[in-house]
Chain A
């Protein structure tokens, strides 16, 4: 394992250490950094917009992660159903994931257009006057959550791979014992894919706290900071306000939050994650 790990350390850990050092400096990229100690970290907690960004990221994560996991697991169960043509559905649900990035963000901006966007046109069709979405401070964040749910195909796929690995005999045995659909899901499926859930949860948290492209492309943090994610706030300071030192401090704050959450999830995993070779894990 050494060469790969060594390279990983050089290519990613090197810059990571550098960014940690930069977080203790006043650095604007264009000229040399200047050591300022803990100033950036102190300033951070005094900034009004930092708290706003923290709030936006927290709301987004708390809503979109559980919602996304639940939906994608449900979807994976449906997609695991043995029937003709199921692979067509799998392809369809995964499709959004293959156009992640700017393309999809531009598309959603267009979909959410208050007047000409297809979403409000359809809502109009059923007699609902749609909100102004991206222009409305109350609806911009929900719009971004909806956008994120469109891309659950990736998580679904990982769940599906987990589901496929569950031996059919276990279900048959449960069925013979008289377990219904729901109880089979509860007592066979959930425990056996708990490692996959764990994986998706960890990545979901990391992903939600780092969501950037959508927020940046679709709403640019607005209106009135309603979608000012930590990542957007960080980017603005790094590249628009040329406060790279401050931005690095924000990044390290985010890092510790994510790390803390991940450690919590890891620590809790023996309680609910089942590994076949788990006895090897000490």
Chain B
């Protein structure tokens, strides 16, 4: 078709249409990306300014020379490596716990017809619906009574017993997996554990990758729980360190240092995201659930 010019203009051809769509998509995405990136730009710009350039009107867009000493100053204020290690331990354990317990529980909710299943599922969902502020006190008292305060346990152990959000996400996903695959296995006498392990898990790599990223982000950024449960500063996490730079009621933050700290704190999750993206976006196509 495309070889007979004049008959149909290029932009009417299928390829032409594709090309046009691509250009339109590109333009829209670029515009949106500019909006998304603007705050980041402003953050980094502020992070690289000397204090006296922060409050200027008109503003300094690109500080020249950039003041990398801000980052250095942040590093002298907090033992970043130590906190990074703590964060890594906590995040890794929470991720492992969440992935295992949730995929297992979600399988139950999606596939096992136990009596009261839907009721329990609603209960699980319900745990999402109550503001954490009011369960904080009972939870704290519970962990306190077993002597877990000032350890990582209150931060890690609950993850091994499921998390409502992830269970919900996985259950929704499992419901879209054709049941025929399992029925064959069932006829062969496979147990639920086996089906979960050898059929469901391999098929759910992309959604597990998604949950992994969500869990990472949620745990990494949570500064409230560590602050409440940890007293020893050596056990703090990166998110807690960030809170050191926010000033007090009477004394505002030093904006350039705060922004430098925020900038530095987003580097690890950003790296993880870039690394994991292959799995949870491209992985979806490869995992063969398409059909």
A and B touch in the complex (CB under 8 A): yes
Q: Which of A101-138 contact B (CB under 8 A)?
A: 101-103, 106-108, 110-111, 115-116, 118, 121-122
B-chain residues with CB within 8 Å of residue A142 when the two chains form the complex: none
Measured CB to CB, the nearest residue on chain B to A147 is B39
- Complex interface: chain B residues within 8 A of A210 (CB): 129, 131
A118 with B42: CB separation less than 8 A: yes
Taking residues whose C-beta sits less than 8 angstroms from the other chain, chain A's interface range is: 35 or more
Q: Is A277 an interface residue (CB 8 A)?
A: yes
A234 touches B46 (CB 8 A): no
A14 and B142 contact, CB distance less than 8 A: yes
A106–B129 alpha-carbon span in the complex (Å): 26
If A18-B138, A99-B269, A203-B168 touch, whether A10 touches B161 (CB-CB below 8 Å) is yes
Main secondary structure of the interface of A (DSSP, over half): helix
Q: Mark B127-161, 1 if CB is under 8 A from A, else 0.
A: 11111011111110010000000000000011011
The answer on a CB contact under 8 Å between B131 and A231 is: yes
User: Is A121 a contact partner of B59 (Cβ separation < 8 A)?
Assistant: yes
Contact A102 B178 (CB under 8 A): no
Contact B21 A181 (CB under 8 A): yes
Q: Flag the segment in A48-56, A61-69, A81-89 that touches B.
A: A81-89
B112 to chain A: which residues have CB within 8 Å? 1
CB-CB contacts below 8 Å: A58-97 with B: 75, 78-79, 81, 83, 87, 89-97
Interface residue? B184 (CB, 8 A): no
Cβ-based interface call for A41 (8 A): no
Tell yes or no: A212 within 8 A of B by CB: yes
CB neighbours of A110 from chain B (8 A) = 42-43, 46, 255, 259
| A11 in contact (CB, < 8 A) | yes
Task: Bits for A1-41, please: 1 = Cβ < 8 Å to B, else 0.
Answer: 10111111111111110110011000001000000000000
Q: A121-B59, A203-B168, A234-B131 are in contact. Are A154 and B214 (CB under 8 A)?
A: yes
Q: How far is the CB of B223 from chain A (nearest CB, A)?
A: 6
Interface assignment of B120: CB less than 8 Å from any CB of chain A: yes
Give the residue among B56, B120, B266 with the most A Cβ atoms within 10 A. Answer: B266
Contacts of B142 in A (CB 8 A): 14-15
Residue B290 at the chain A interface, CB threshold 8 Å:
yes
Complex partner residue of B176 from A8, A122, A165, CB under 8 angstroms: A165
Indicate if B26 sits at the interface (CB-CB under 8 A): yes
> Is B212's CB within 8 Å of the partner chain A?
no
Residue B253 lies at the interface, judged by CB distance under 8 Å to chain A: yes
Q: How far is the CA of A275 from the CA of B176 in the complex (A)?
A: 6
Residue B22, interface by CB 8 Å: yes
Within the complex, what minimum Cβ distance (angstroms) separates B199 from chain A?
13
Residues of B in contact with A (beta carbons under 8 Å apart): 21-22, 25-26, 28-29, 32-33, 36-40, 42-43, 46, 54-59, 101-102, 104-105, 107-109, 111-112, 114, 120, 123-131, 133-139, 142, 157-158, 160-165, 167-169, 172, 175-179, 206-207, 210, 213-214, 217-218, 221-223, 239, 242-243, 246, 253, 255, 258-259, 262, 265-266, 269-270, 272-274, 277, 280-282, 284-285, 289-291
Q: Which 6 A-B pairs have the closest CB atoms?
A: A7-B161, A1-B108, A101-B221, A18-B138, A15-B138, A98-B269
Known: A1-B112, A91-B274. 5 other contacts (CB 8 A): A7-B162, A19-B134, A93-B32, A99-B269, A111-B39
CB<8 Å pairs between A and B, sample of 17: A7-B162, A9-B123, A11-B139, A12-B164, A29-B137, A87-B281, A98-B266, A102-B221, A103-B266, A107-B39, A107-B43, A110-B46, A199-B168, A247-B134, A254-B130, A254-B131, A280-B175
